[in-house]
Amino acid sequence: MTMFTFCILVLCFSSAFAQLRIVNGTDTHISLAPHQVSLQVAASGCTTAGTGYCHICGGSILNENWVLTAAHCVDGGSTSTMFIGAGFTTGQIRDETYTRYPIAQYIMYPTYNQGAGAFPNDVALIRLGTPINLSNSVHSSIELATTDYGNFHDVTCTISGWGLDSTGVIPNQLQSTTGIIDENCGQWSTNNYREAVHICIHNPSTGSCNGDSGGPMVCNGVLAGVTSWGASGCNTGYPSVYARVSTFNSWITTNMN
């Protein structure tokens, strides 16, 4: 077994952030993924005019007050400079005018990045300072996977995001693609993968990349994974690795309540 070099899938605008994008995905509309949001940070160099809002990660709407993302997306960040963008499809997201929600609080899983494997427990909750209006077609919550759904073995799932494409450019439109859940991920990544906290999706021609971190993997209509890490260079020959939502369901629900 050969271990592959891995990377977290965040776009990097400061030492605190890194991100990924869908490689060889297809254009989609936010109404087909109304749970999808963009985690952004106010920083210099985001727009041609100077300081603006840079997309760094994705996320998923759980209810009007809460968003789920990857812990590495918010680790070291400040609620005063991070925002959630929601309800848009096209346009350079760093410049587009749309609803932007302030972040009141984020809660990382208490043992994030502790223990065996690569980036274990890579989930975080974001509490919004202003509730999202869920009464329209471009904002919708998504149900969390539970242990009742099992491992989704060989299920075809959908991933989406504004992460870098194969040319290293942020897409102008929300991207999506599909893949098969690969429960043999350990054979690719040896000691980096832990089935208890990770879940893999594989499609040899497409996958997630920098800027997709924190975004959704939807299987059978529920949120089964949170984009976490993958092969260096976004090599689609290897699976994309996600935090296994069913493992963290109880923690997520408890903290939202």
Q: 10 and 211 in contact (C-beta within 8 Å)?
A: yes
CB atoms within 10 A of CB 74: 27
Tokens of 7: 């990377």
Residue 232: active-site member: no
Closest CA to 163 of 4, 6, 5, 8: 8
User: Which member of 213, 228, 240, 246 is catalytic?
Assistant: 213
Which residues, 6 or more positions from 64, have their beta carbon under 8 angstroms from its beta carbon?
Answer: 128, 131, 132, 133, 134, 141
Number of Cβ atoms within 10 Å of the Cβ of 186? 17
Given the residues 122, 165, 182, 212, select the one marked as catalytic. 122
Is 75 noted as a catalytic residue in this protein?
A: no
Full DSSP string of 190-213: GGG--TTTEEEEE-TT-B--BT-T
Annotated catalytic residue 72: yes
Among 35, 55, 72, 139, which one carries the catalytic annotation? Answer: 72
**Which residues are catalytically annotated?**
72, 122, 213
